[in-house]
Amino acid sequence: MTQKKELAEKTVITEVGRVKEVGEKNAYILFLSGPLVGKLLELKAGETILGRSPDAAISVNDSRVSRQHISLTVSKAGTTLTDLGSTNGTFVNGGRVQTHLLQDGDKVQISSSTIFKFAYQDNLENIFHKELYKMAVIDAVTGVFNKRYFSDRLKEEFAHSKRARVPLALIMMDLDHFKKVNDTHGHLAGDFALAHIAKTVQKMVRASDVFARYGGEEFIILLRNTDEKGASQLAERIRLAVEQSPATFESHTIPVTVSLGVASLGEENYGSPEVFIEAADQYLYQSKQGGRNRVISGHYKSASS
């Protein structure tokens, strides 16, 4: 018994190798949209030129990108982005820059199509999988869900609503005179206006709602357990909030308004998610034909003040 006790109380010392230190984080850019979407590139020490030219270290086949658009310089001080006199400019997190010390997570836009994210990362696999997931469900320009994610969720919620007999509503929304914004202020200003609207609306929807960019200047909101009246009231609040919050892009004030159409599964027995969307789209069309900047549903109409 004494021998067993002595064995139990022995301290065993095992030599353990030195724990590997976390390596230095490397600089990467991941393209969120454009011709190089999904491409993850490590930036080496020194200067890297990015542009449309085939001779650029990172060549982007995008007509709105200048031949030598930006340089990315990696040094001990960090990674510095410099615009090389590009035609359409360079924007970091929505603001135009000439020279900018990039921070982890910065989003860089060099055209209406090409957007990339800058990151410091010591584990390439982590950033790749994390950002690929975001790319699969998030719209790069506005930061809200994309059409693919929305469509998947709509199928699930539509089936649940039918089975449980609970209301479900859709709000379809379109930025009024979007072409005029692009033609007057440029495509990047148009993207900024879309992102501005997205931020305004994002604050007004619930966590359980699905707010997505449906395509071009069109957005859509899926509202669980919401009837036509509740959806129409929210749509009217959104219309007023957007109208009262003009976008400011590089000292230019851009008035923005939206037209909205509302459909409710509780009011009508739509046979499929596709028919449900067609109904909301039809009400949106009526809103635009009726003068824009208004809300129309089966039993509700509003007009701009």
Kindly list the catalytic residues: 217
117 vs 29, 109, 229, 263, 278, CA distance in Å? 5, 9, 41, 37, 35
DSSP one-letter code for 14: -
DSSP one-letter code for 183: H
- Residue 304 · residue 291 · CB < 8 Å: yes
CB atoms within 10 A of CB 245: 14
Between 187-202 and 228-243, two packed helices, what is the crossing angle to 10 degrees? 130
CA angle 163, 169, 172 (to 5 degrees): 140
**Six-digit token pair at 136?**
């699969």
CB atoms within 10 A of CB 108: 23
- Residue 204 · residue 221 · CB < 8 Å: no
